[in-house]
Chain A
Amino acid sequence: MKKVLIVDDSLSVARQLERIISESGDLVCVGHAKNGAEAIKMNHSENPDIICMDMNMPGMDGLTALRTLSVMDKDVKVVMVTSLGGVGDKFTEALKLGAKNVISKPFEAENVLRILREL
């Protein structure tokens, strides 16, 4: 089972993603970080295979955390889950910083699962 860490300041988004992951059968959620700094700590403690991370969070935002994670951990695969996915510059910046994909909100469960399973 691939281990997934969710990083989002929104409780409701974390709930949605946790449900999608727990019902998948082949993915397991190992935790929920509420900002980029927590994500970096939990990446160390939980050692996830995949991180699903929001871009727009108070404290350390998603792109800053992605920049740090790309240097600190070459193995973890980061997917950005964001309402800003349709902003071309943000999408491009995320890919250049090492994100494997970007999922736009509002998202559909099957789309999320397809992208996570492809990693």
Chain B
Amino acid sequence: MAIKFFGQFLVERNIVTRDALLKAIEMQERTNLKLGEMAVSVGYITQSDIELAHNAQMSKDMKLGDLLVEMGLLTLNQLNDVITRQKNTHLYIGEALVQVGALTTEGLQQYLQEFKADQSQYVSEGIELPGGIANSRIWEMAADLTYKMITRVLDLQFRPGKGELVTTIDSNFMLAAMDLAGDMDARYLISVSEGLQKSIAKAILREESVDSEPAEVLEDTVMEFVNVVCGNISAKASQMGVILNINPPVTIRPPAAGLPVPTGHMAICFPIHIGDDEKMQLILLIKN
């Protein structure tokens, strides 16, 4: 029901053992050279060049390859050659599992098909963002995954509104937020009205009625929904080559005038239309 990588899918279904997967991952780690290691192995640079670049990375936010080129230690052609060699020699986890004897080649093909079918429910259908937003494919994925989780986890019928840039985050009964950090920094927020908070609580707790639940538990269910969505956003981002770490979720009670978007940030607000009396929004507060 969640975004997974292939090795996890196989262990969860008891197709391969945990120990076999670890053996295959160790083989991958020995085979799949990092960019610096590959550049050294073909003789373009030395180990001391890598150390120089790593020291420079402490004061410059650049990828190792770009930095090696900027420092004149590697040419652009050499960098492209190293990246091509990395791609051509990459050992995928499925192939590694065949090599350690945990899967047959035929089994690998069959399970890859099953894995693709399992994960196809999370393939993005395309979300339109306002123009000029950096890393738009990540934020489109975040919005798309939110919609899919509203359907699958909360079992709510809704109509997604168009994402628009806002300068104030509207007031609502509560907001649950989670900070995303890594290759980009942002805050993911879900804003819900009181009735929707109860709908979310019923779905998460799997209870017919939540009228007797304390406010703390009702708030926690919205935070847990945010946690589930953001964890899956982090997983999908890592499949797209982007690191997005998550922090524990928090609750915000916005003032009646709403929350102004802080300087140095932009906010995209996606209205989620559920009913006339209820209000739900997804807000992506992205650091410029």
B185 at the binding interface (Cβ < 8 Å): no
Tell me the residues in window 231-262 of chain B with beta carbons closer than 8 Å to chain A beta carbons: 231-232, 234-236, 238-239, 246-248
Report which of B5, B149, B205, B247 forms a contact with A15, defined as CB distance below 8 A. B205
Contacts of B228 in A (CB 8 A): 83, 105-106
The number of residue pairs between A and B whose CB atoms lie closer than 8 Å in the complex comes to 111
Question: Interface code B205-248, partner A: CB below 8 Å = 1, 0 otherwise?
Answer: 11000000000110011011001111110111011000000111
| Chain A at the B interface: SS class | mixed
Contacts of B239 in A (CB 8 A): 86
Q: With the chains together, A57 CA to B201 CA distance in Å?
A: 20
Q: A10 and B220: CB pair below 8 A?
A: yes
Contacts of B183 in A (CB 8 A): none
Contacts of A13 in B (CB 8 A): 224
Q: With the chains together, A87 CA to B239 CA distance in Å?
A: 8
Listed residue (A9, A83, A107) with the most chain B CB atoms within 10 angstroms of its CB: A83
Q: What is the chain A residue whose CB lies nearest that of B207? A: A15
Contacts of B205 in A (CB 8 A): 12, 15-16
A24 at the binding interface (Cβ < 8 Å): no
What class of interface size applies to chain B in its complex with A?
Answer: 35 or more
B96 at the binding interface (Cβ < 8 Å): no
Q: With the chains together, A72 CA to B235 CA distance in Å?
A: 31
Least CB distance, B60 to chain A, in whole angstroms: 24
B153 at the binding interface (Cβ < 8 Å): yes
Q: With the chains together, A84 CA to B248 CA distance in Å?
A: 12
Contacts of B247 in A (CB 8 A): 56
Stretch from B18-26, B31-39, B164-172, B189-197 forming part of the interface with A: B18-26
Stretch from A25-33, A37-45, A63-71, A89-97 forming part of the interface with B: A89-97
Q: A9 and B248: CB pair below 8 A?
A: yes
Q: B18 and A56: CB pair below 8 A?
A: no
Contacts of B248 in A (CB 8 A): 9, 56-58
B286 at the binding interface (Cβ < 8 Å): no
Report which of B8, B14, B18, B21 forms a contact with A104, defined as CB distance below 8 A. B8
Q: With the chains together, A96 CA to B153 CA distance in Å?
A: 30
A47 at the binding interface (Cβ < 8 Å): no
Q: What is the chain A residue whose CB lies nearest that of B178? A: A56
Q: What is the chain A residue whose CB lies nearest that of B246? A: A56
Q: B231 and A12: CB pair below 8 A?
A: no
Q: With the chains together, A14 CA to B235 CA distance in Å?
A: 23
Q: B2 and A87: CB pair below 8 A?
A: no
Q: With the chains together, A86 CA to B7 CA distance in Å?
A: 10
Least CB distance, B44 to chain A, in whole angstroms: 27
Q: With the chains together, A71 CA to B81 CA distance in Å?
A: 44
A22 at the binding interface (Cβ < 8 Å): no
Contacts of A105 in B (CB 8 A): 2, 227-228, 231
Contacts of B235 in A (CB 8 A): 84-87
Contacts of A115 in B (CB 8 A): 12
Contacts of A101 in B (CB 8 A): 11-12, 18
Listed by A's residue number, 10 A-B pairs whose Cβ atoms lie within 8 Å are: A56-B231, A83-B230, A84-B231, A86-B234, A86-B239, A96-B22, A101-B12, A102-B11, A104-B2, A104-B231
Known: A88-B238, A92-B7, A115-B12. 13 other contacts (CB 8 A): A12-B201, A56-B246, A86-B5, A86-B234, A86-B239, A87-B235, A88-B5, A91-B5, A101-B12, A101-B18, A102-B11, A104-B2, A104-B4
